[in-house]
Chain A
Amino acid sequence: MSTVENLSERLEFLQGTLEVLILRSLQLGPNHAYGIAQFLKLQSNQEFVVDNGSLYPALQRLLQRGWVKAEWKTSPNVRRAKYYRLTSAGKKQLVVATSKWQRFAEAMGRILVSEG
């Protein structure tokens, strides 16, 4: 019945929530760290205000796993910024994680809303 298979995966799952969110935010296109944080803040209606001390390490982990790729671009106002974008592996991972989270959210919803 559980949406995750074993203990270590459970831990990674919890740690990976931010990573999933980052992946989602990059689905629409490459973005830099500030842009990602802004996206998450706006989309979650100010619920998720990401702390930079968590954001940057998460970005590094995503780089290590090869789910995102980074490159320097000159941003619109002529300042160099590091842009992250999804790799094909990252896209696949996003699909998998999204479905897992949906199942999780549904289950949570059912329990919390149910009678008794």
Chain B
Amino acid sequence: MNREFWSKIRSMFAGRTRAEEELREELETHLQLEIEDSVSRGLPPDEARRRFGNATSIQEAAVEAWRFPVIEALLQDLRHGLRLLHRSPGFTAVAVLSLAIGIGANTAIFSVTDALLLRPLPVKNPRELVLFRHVEPTGTVYNFSYRWFKRLQDQPGVFTDVAASWMIDRYNIRTNGAAGAGDQERVSVALASGNYFRMLGVLAAMGRLLSDDDDRSPGGHPVAVISHRFWEGRFGLAPDVIGRTIILYDTAYTILGVTPRGFEGEWGRPADLWVPYMMASKVMPELPGGPAQFPAVILARLQGGVAIRQAQAASHAVFQQLIREEAGPQRFPAASRLELESGTNGYSERRQTFTFPLAVIMSVVGLVLLVACANLATLSLARAAARQRELAVRLAIGATQGRLLRQLLAEAALLAALGAGVGLAIAIWMARVLVILLAQGTINASRIYVEIHPDARVLGFTAVISLITFFALGMAPAFRSNVSLAPSLGGRGASPGGRFALGKALVAGQVALCAVLLFGAGLFLRTLQNLRGQDLGFATDNALLVWTAPVQTGRTGPALWNLLESVRNRLAGLPGIKAVSLSNGGVLEGGEDRGGRSEQMLFEGYEAKAGMTLRYFAVGPDFFTATGLQLVAGRDFSSTDSDTSPPVAIINRTMARFFYGNDNPIGKRFGGRNGKEMEIVGVARDAKAGSARDSRGVWYVPYRQNARALRLPAWCFIVRTVANSDGFTPRIREEIRKIDDSLPVLRINTMSEQLADVLVPDRLLAAVSAIFGSVAMLVACAGIYGSVSYSTTRRTAEMGVRVALGATQSGILRMVVVESLAVVSTGLAFGLPIAVMLARIVASRLFGVSPVDVPTMVVASALILAVGAFAALLPALRASRVDAMTALRCE
């Protein structure tokens, strides 16, 4: 009956009160008529009233006709649930808070993970995109030369289109053609092939984007496309930005158009502008050779319906041919493979670093949510059991079991909804904090830019976990609501054994989860401590690291050397400075990763030997004095080691031992892959290079003897001061500015700040696991408290009997505490082995602690036991104070 339905809906919005008043008036009139009729027949008015019936119930019945019975019942249940929650504010507060933290944390981490790892590029059909990579024995590399790209583009095969891009940071970019000092703000410039935007299916938000015609002749297309973010930041969304110019190294690039908001390239960090590949020599003057030599990341689109594996197999022959033709024995050993990888999320250099920590954090946070749910299930169970009587009474006066079940579920739904609501607020705040943390990247590599917008996936995720918690919460008491009437009304309630077991099991479960979290937190904290405290090999005090980007000045070759040398000399001449040197990486990171493998090196008079990966640094004179890295033999580099003097090198002790054993390496020669031979003039102590963790073979060369190093984007001056290095920063900046004001100073920090930067992932892990471990502990504490509370309340009569039979207060106290500790210990017994198992999985992240670290286990266990005892104390005290008479009478 549709008509009825809609009438009812309409009446919900129309004036209910007016209708009720009218009804009242109608009934009043009716009654009057009845009375008149009665009187006219000689009967008393009361007779008429009686016949008329009860006005209130008539009104009720009439109003009933307008209601939706199901909705009404539901609303009633919800209201009832709200009242109940209102009556126990403690429980409600604990429940909502722990749920909110659990749900909020999970949502926050998920949204960050989604933005960082999972979110597909905002382009057409991102799932069809693939990235190229070549896999060599030393690792996987995504960089190709432009020439490779061209060859792949010529023979597309299974790909509908192949495009290339490369991103580089530039300084000294001027906008609006204004004369004056170069703007030292960093701009991320992307080189893009002509078909880049077309392949991605990106349309211009304004103007037009690059096309094939913009990418034909080298140096002949000074045009650029800017990103929406750049347009907003630099041009203030000026509508006349098309046609304006951007000046880099004296070339003026005309702005063709703006990309849509949200598109920032496929690299992990946002690109500010795109420039045709043919302009590469102008954008990167530090690179020798023509565009064919330039680096590229290659992206391609598969034909619809073709899977990556299929495409890989189909292209196998072509790839092999390419490797044979393009690769020389130096670059790509025969064992390398050309592979395809999903490009749905684009390419991010930093993604690899954060995948693991984020996965760990997600697990941690998931565990916390589990603990919260288990905790709440325990508390709900306790409450439900306490309401045994109430439920039994209601069953007796006619409520159906279904109705009761619905009510319990309504309560659980309310809690879950409240928890989710507060949780979302927490999630937003937490996500913001995480984003800020992640954006503090390290100097050489990209900062992680994550933009969190509340999107359907995140909200969907929140909804799903809220539902899960709802079921976890609601099921426990609902499950137990199959109450049998007689025993509940008459006496003690249903079998104590059964109920206890579930409650105890839940508490033990929470404790086990806490054990895992705390153990993990302990391991990560110790790792962090070890990383911080390790002997890095050089003196960390009284030194500053001054990062600059000399290539941004447009100089190349010897002019660049001269610049570096003049800066070094000027700084060394300042008062209070002991020594200044430079390095192509800092002391904690950078350095050419591709120092090669040990078997590629030839050592005069010695056999080639495999098994060690090497790294090299191009450094300046006095490097070892400036860094405080000790030389155990031989000499430091000096200014006499230049491009015209014999090639020399200094190796570290690990390398010396590996290749030369106990022989003295000084004076011996070895050759790198480019065939150049160097004489060893010194042996240095081992220092940590790359990250605070690794130690491998490292060799140092004077920068003037290493042409390749010139192309690197950043150089670090190591300034060692005589005394404290505070206060030197402004002076250093000033001196550098005096030498060349177009030389950007990227950053000046101390070595410990540098270390802190490198350790960001580890700090994140330690902080998150410690925080959440504590939160889990608190939640479990509340759970233990609730559970012990409930069980002692139920056993009040039993306590009374004990007291009557002579038990002392302290005796009862001890008994309750010991009992609860027994449950806690059971939880520990289960939790610790699981913790160790999980620790084995993350063992690669640990430093200086083993997954079976006993002290951490002991501390975690002690902490949990202490908290367990503390939580049980209050209810135990209450139980011990029970008065025998009251107890025995109360049931």
Q: In the complex, what's the smallest C-beta–C-beta distance from A33 to chain B, in angstroms?
A: 5
Q: Are A52 and B65 in contact (CB under 8 A)?
A: no
Contacts of B68 in A (CB 8 A): none
Contact with A along B1-36 (1 / 0, CB 8 A): 101100110000000000000110111011011100
Question: A82 in the interface, Cβ–Cβ < 8 Å?
Answer: yes
Within 8 A of B (CB), among A60-110: 60-61, 63-66, 72, 75, 79-82
Q: Please give me the residue from chain A that is nearest to B31 by CB atom.
A: A34
Chain B residues contacting A64 (CB-CB under 8 Å) are: 3-4, 7-8, 65-66
**Chain A contacts of B27 at CB under 8 A?**
56
| Cα–Cα, bound, A82→B29 (Å) | 9
B contact residues around A115 at 8 Å (CB): none
- Nearest Cβ in chain B — how far from A9, in angstroms? 11
Contact (Cβ within 8 A) B1 A65? yes
Given the interface pairs A56-B61, A56-B62, A80-B29, the reply to whether A61 lies near B53 with Cβ below 8 Å is no
Whole-angstrom distance from the CB of B824 to the nearest CB of chain A? Answer: 59
**Min distance, Cβ B34 to any Cβ of chain A, angstroms:** 7
Closest Cβ–Cβ distance, residue B831 to chain A (whole Å) = 57
**A38 closest partner in B (C-beta):** B37
B22 touches A57 (CB 8 A): no
Cα–Cα distance between A65 and B1 once the two chains are bound (Å): 8
B39 to chain A, nearest CB (A): 13
Cβ A63 vs Cβ B26 within 8 A:
no
Instruction: Check A57/B3 contact, CB under 8 A, given A33-B26, A81-B29.
Output: no
A80-B25 contact, Cβ under 8 Å, with A56-B62, A60-B62, A61-B4 = yes
Q: Are A66 and B61 in contact (CB under 8 A)?
A: no
Chain A residues near B22: list those with CB within 8 A: 72, 82
Residue of B4, B22, B61 with most chain A CB atoms under a 10 A cut-off = B61
Cβ proximity bits B47-71 to A, threshold 8 Å, 1 near / 0 not: 0000011100111011011100000
CB of B65 within 8 A of CB of A82, answer no
| B62 touches which of A57, A80, A81 (Cβ 8 Å) | A57
Q: Are A53 and B29 neighbours in the complex by a CB distance under 8 Å?
A: no
- Cβ contact within 8 Å between A65 and B52: no
Complex alpha-carbon distance, A38 and B7, angstroms: 28
Instruction: Classify chain B's interface size.
Output: 20 to 34
| Bound CA span A52–B59, Å | 10
For B57, the chain A residues whose CB sits under 8 A away are: 53
Would you call B29 and A79 a contact (CB within 8 A)?
Answer: yes
Closest residue on chain B to residue A61 by CB atoms: B65
Query: Which of A52, A53, A61 has the most chain B CB atoms inside 10 A of its CB?
Result: A52
Q: Which residues of A contact B29 (CB under 8 A)?
A: 32, 34, 75, 79-82
* A51 contacts partner chain B, Cβ-Cβ < 8 Å: yes
A82 to B28: give the CA distance in the assembly, Å.
11
Contact partners of B25 in chain A: CB under 8 A: 80, 82
| CB-based nearest A residue for B55 | A52
A60 touches B66 (CB 8 A): yes
In the assembled complex, the CB of B52 is this many whole angstroms from the nearest CB of chain A, namely 6
Report the nearest A residue to B23, measured CB to CB: A56
B1 nearest CB across to chain A (Å): 7
B890, chain A: closest CB distance, angstroms: 45
Q: In the complex the two chains form, is A53's CB within 8 Å of B61's CB?
A: yes
Rounded to whole Å, the gap between the CB of B444 and the closest CB of chain A is 75
From A56, A63, A72, A82, residue with most partner B Cβ within 10 Å: A56
Q: Is the CB of B30 within 8 A of A32?
A: yes
**Residue of B4, B34, B64 touching A57 (CB-CB under 8 A):** B64
The CA-CA distance from A60 to B61 in the complex, in Å, is: 10
Known: A52-B53, A64-B3, A82-B22. A57 touches B32 (CB 8 A): no
CA distance A106 to B23 in the complex (A): 39
Question: Is A51 within 8 A of B53, CB to CB?
Answer: yes
Measured between C-beta atoms, what is the minimum distance from B48 to chain A in Å? 11
Q: A33-B26, A34-B30, A65-B1 are in contact. Are A53 and B58 (CB under 8 A)?
A: yes
Which B residues are CB-close (under 8 A) to A60?
62, 65-66
Complex-state Cα separation, A72 to B25, whole angstroms: 11
In the assembled complex, how far is the CB of residue B310 from the closest CB belonging to chain A, in whole angstroms?
56
Q: List 17 A-B contacts (CB under 8 A).
A: A32-B26, A38-B37, A51-B53, A52-B30, A54-B61, A59-B62, A60-B65, A60-B66, A61-B4, A63-B7, A64-B4, A64-B66, A65-B3, A72-B22, A79-B32, A81-B26, A82-B26
Which residues on A are within 8 Å of B, measured CB to CB? Answer: 32-34, 38, 51-54, 56-57, 59-61, 63-66, 72, 75, 79-82
10 other A-B residue contacts (CB within 8 Å) besides A60-B65, A72-B22, A79-B32: A38-B37, A51-B53, A52-B52, A53-B53, A56-B62, A65-B1, A65-B4, A79-B29, A80-B29, A82-B25
Going nearest first, the 8 A-B pairs with the smallest beta carbon separation are: A60-B65, A56-B62, A64-B7, A34-B33, A64-B4, A57-B65, A52-B53, A82-B26
